[in-house]
Chains A and B, each alone.
Chain A
Amino acid sequence: MSIADFFLITQAIFLVYFILLHGSYFSLNVLSIISIWNYMQERSISGLPNTYTGLEIPVSIIAPAYNEEATITNSIKALLNLNYPDFEVIVVNDGSSDSTMQVLINEFDLIIFPEAYLSGLPTQKIRQVYISKKFPSLRVLDKDNGGKADALNAGINVSRFSLFCAVDADSIIQTNSLEKIVQPFLEEPTTVAVGGTVRIANGCSVRNGFLVKAGLPTNLLALFQVAEYLRGFLFGRLGWSPLNALLIISGAFGVFHKETVVSVGGYLTNTIGEDMELIARLHRLLRARNVPYKISFVPDPICWTEAPEDLKTLRNQRIRWQRGLSESLAKNISLLFGKNSGAVGWLAMPFMLVFEWFGPIIELLGITLVIIGYYAGYLSAEVTIIFFTVAIGFGVLLSVVAVLLEEMSFHIYPKLRYIFILLLVAILENFGYRQLNSVWRLIATYQWAMGHKASWGEMKRSASWTEQE
């Protein structure tokens, strides 16, 4: 085969890949637009009395914390003030090396509590359990460091209610979010997990741990992530949910049926993407057991999280996500095209594998080959320009549709100026940022394939939201 043939064949492969990729995205977009329209129509007005009956399902909120001394007080106060009739908050101090534990003891008047918990899931040693004298619904577990998954498992062991909500201790949850995210469990008793939307808190105004005004960050990297999160949550997840094929529920905010999670073994501690792995395993094992179940996504309950504003932290985060994806897919690969795998095994899993996991390889390979092909004279300037324009054009289209979905639904960003900024960012992120992400993801895939040790890395906090008095 000549070099020219090679270029011809690879171009044909890219063409097919490209059509499949954008065909899939287009289908997801259509599903998302329908879902969000229905959701907004039926859920924007409550036709019910605004009271509680005692039949609401109580929830244990589990917040793993590692070196969160600066933000933990406000975060926990906010959790304790959520609008929900019956819940407890369990903070798991996962062997922090800073003064997180001391801050908690001082701020919440913690005293040692002789918890006789059920140790259903194996975890690192629990040093002590505390309870707050000020807020008896708050308990704090002080344990040896074992990672986020281990901390969540410890929290599950001491939780008292049938549903648990996994949140990041540094996230900001809207006051009514818990009420909304529990709704699918009431409406569909087979529901085992529900995820909510996560948005970027950088540039927002926060008071006492609650978000009071949404805004956009001034940092370009954080701005790119705003557009990215809109895309990821508003059509990435919303599209899969009606098919019961959702493969990711963010570790920052998700509610789970405890007994089901324990029955599949809880969070895996030897993976870095424990949130996605758990969902994939729930699908795999519940399908294998022939148990009817539903895993849903609700676009409305919103959790705000701080996005990295420097390249190093962002790089670490993206490498971690891609490694998490690789591990989750590898560990649950039997779900793929399984006899009883349904939409998740026949659509979502192949999509994740081909477009999310393998995507960076194809994308970067495509760019490299087109450039080489052009300079070596195998591709005309016309074809080269068309290749780049189509690739970037479709990327822009996807981001712009995500902004449209936001505008059709929640209008989180109040000013017209913000919409223009978002649209501009939706275009700009396709010139360099997306490709940079692909490079990081490729590195992550390589590291995973080579068996390099994964680590969480350090999250550099910039307190990039405005704390109001």
Chain B
Amino acid sequence: MTGTESILAYTTNSEDVVQIAIFSIGMVVGLIIIIFFQIVILRIILIIRNRRYEKFINLWRPIIMESLAVPIDNAPKLKPRHAKYFMLEWNSLYDKLGRGSQGNLVQFASSIGINKYASYLLIARQPKDRITGIITLGHLRITGLWDILKAIAENETLVLSLASFRALLHIDSVRALGELFPLIIKRDDWPISMVAKILKEVENTSICSYLVSSALENDGADLSRVIQLMDVLQCASFGKVFSQLLAKEQSSQVISLCMQALRDPQYLSMVKDYATHQDAGVRISVASALGRLGTKQDIELLISLLLDDDWWVRYRAAQSLSKFPFVDKTQFLEIEQRIDNQNTKDIMQQVLAEWDIL
């Protein structure tokens, strides 16, 4: 036998290889059995948990609901194993209620000592338990753990840090904004829509002044984020930011976002200056802004945008014309007659159809 043949013979028919194969089979079968039992055990645990949760709900849900209306003096003692369920149920109800109607709920939860359990959860091993604890502490407005929550907001992963930031805003929105505002700008892993949700919930007018300062002081903030937040929060002071920002050279994205956020007609002339901007995105925003803020004198400008090179500019311009209070359907059709471009005519027909349906 040659060397290769003997290796092949060894690897395919030798006793050792057969032994290894049998050992592998044993391992595989063993693993399958272990996993099988693991699955069954996981399911049994789930069933036990569900039953426990059902028991908890039957007992505690009526009490929690009652606590909304009247102070509860004779609540049963909360078993430690029910504490997490309580927090989940209580947090969910808290979030469903409007501001101002949560006072009794907070008082009741504090009276049964839920803050103690929530604090323990901050050092829990599982992130979902930590999140539950953080949310509860925020809703209870516990100030004693401020530094721990702040550290979580600054250093932890997306979900944990955002939950912590939200909790801090619940506890003391003025202090939280003072200390954590830079995070809103710097943590670009925080999706803007999630940050906006949290800030909108707080309804603190000082957020706008922080955003204005950040935008105008050129503190290295991502201007797009700042402008979008000002838009969502409908900051009344945006006009000032708009004029000052656009006095300097800005990226097309920033200009477009400025146009989208603008609600103050006094800056209309600045909007019109961008009607011939080289970036189609900017011209689209101009066409839309003109529909919101424009006057009768702007009809001609919109008609010129109907002949823009970009399809979306033409479409937005037609939409804006259709929304103008000074243009009725007859006038709209007259404008359409004046246009030579077939594609624009088609767009205007589409907008006309939308006018009837939408």
Contacts and interface: CB of A to CB of B under 8 A. Distances in A.
B51 interface: no
A5 B347 CA distance: 74
B160 A42 contact: yes
Nearest to A49: B201
Given A50-B95, A386-B18, A423 B39 contact: yes
A400 B191 contact: no
Contact of A393 (B18, B28, B42): B28
A262 interface: no
Contacts of A56: 193
A41 interface: yes
A397 B8 contact: no
Contacts of B78: none
A136 interface: yes
Interface stretch (A60-68, A94-102, A111-119, A322-330): A111-119
Contacts of A187: 158, 189, 191
B11 A44 contact: no
A51 to B, nearest CB: 6
B192 interface: yes
Interface in A34-90: 40-45, 47-56
Interface stretch (B65-73, B172-180, B265-273, B350-358): B350-358
B28 to A, nearest CB: 4
Contacts of B96: 50
A7 B189 CA distance: 57
A41 B126 CA distance: 7
Chain A interface mostly: helix
A433 interface: no
A407 B8 contact: no
A41 B127 contact: yes
B159 interface: yes
A280 interface: no
B193 A45 contact: no
Interface string A124-141: 000000010100100000
B28 A394 contact: yes
Contacts of B112: none
B16 interface: no
Nearest to B357: A136
Interface stretch (A9-17, A269-277, A435-443, A445-453): A9-17
Contact of B32 (A8, A133, A393): A393
A382 B193 CA distance: 63
Contact of A55 (B42, B158, B228, B315): B228
A407 B11 contact: no
Interface string B193-210: 110111011000000000
B13 A48 contact: no
B148 interface: no
Interface in A361-388: 379-380, 382-383, 386
A383 B13 CA distance: 7
B350 A113 contact: yes
Given A53-B232, A419-B39, A383 B12 contact: yes
A186 B191 contact: yes
Interface string B70-107: 00000000000000000010000001100000000000
Given A113-B353, A389-B25, A393-B28, A411 B46 contact: yes
A393 B113 CA distance: 53
Contact of A40 (B128, B343, B353): B128
A49 B197 contact: yes
A114 B350 contact: yes
Contacts of B131: 42, 45, 47
Contacts of A408: 42
Contacts of B46: 407, 411
A41 B132 CA distance: 11
B61 interface: no
A5 B1 CA distance: 11
A291 interface: no
A64 to B, nearest CB: 22
Contacts of A42: 127-128, 131, 157-160
A386 B128 CA distance: 45
A12 B350 CA distance: 68
Nearest to A2: B5
A323 to B, nearest CB: 33
A422 to B, nearest CB: 9
A401 interface: yes
A10 to B, nearest CB: 9
B43 A419 contact: yes
Contacts of A5: 5, 8
A419 B12 contact: no
A48 to B, nearest CB: 5
A132 to B, nearest CB: 9
A165 interface: no
A123 B176 CA distance: 54
Contact of A12 (B8, B21, B88, B198): B8
B282 interface: no
B228 A116 contact: no
Contacts of A133: 357
Contacts of B11: 11-12, 15
A380 B17 CA distance: 13
B246 interface: no
B151 to A, nearest CB: 16
Contacts of A7: 12
Given A8-B5, A8-B8, A393-B28, A400 B36 contact: yes
A48 B8 contact: no
A41 B193 contact: no
A390 interface: yes
Nearest to B196: A53
Contacts of B301: none
A459 interface: no
A11 B12 contact: yes
A390 B194 contact: no
B197 A53 contact: yes
Contacts of A186: 191-194
A55 B201 contact: no
A47 B18 contact: no
Contact of B134 (A47, A400, A416): A47
Nearest to B2: A5
A404 interface: yes
Q: Which of B28, B44, B311 has the most CB of A within 10 A?
A: B28
Contacts of A394: 28
A335 interface: no
A295 interface: no
29 contacts: A8-B8, A9-B8, A15-B12, A40-B128, A45-B132, A47-B134, A48-B162, A49-B200, A49-B201, A54-B231, A56-B193, A114-B346, A114-B350, A115-B350, A116-B343, A116-B346, A116-B347, A116-B349, A118-B311, A133-B357, A382-B18, A383-B13, A386-B18, A390-B21, A393-B32, A403-B39, A419-B39, A419-B40, A419-B43
Given A47-B134, A382-B18, A394-B28, 4 more contacts: A8-B5, A50-B96, A393-B24, A407-B39
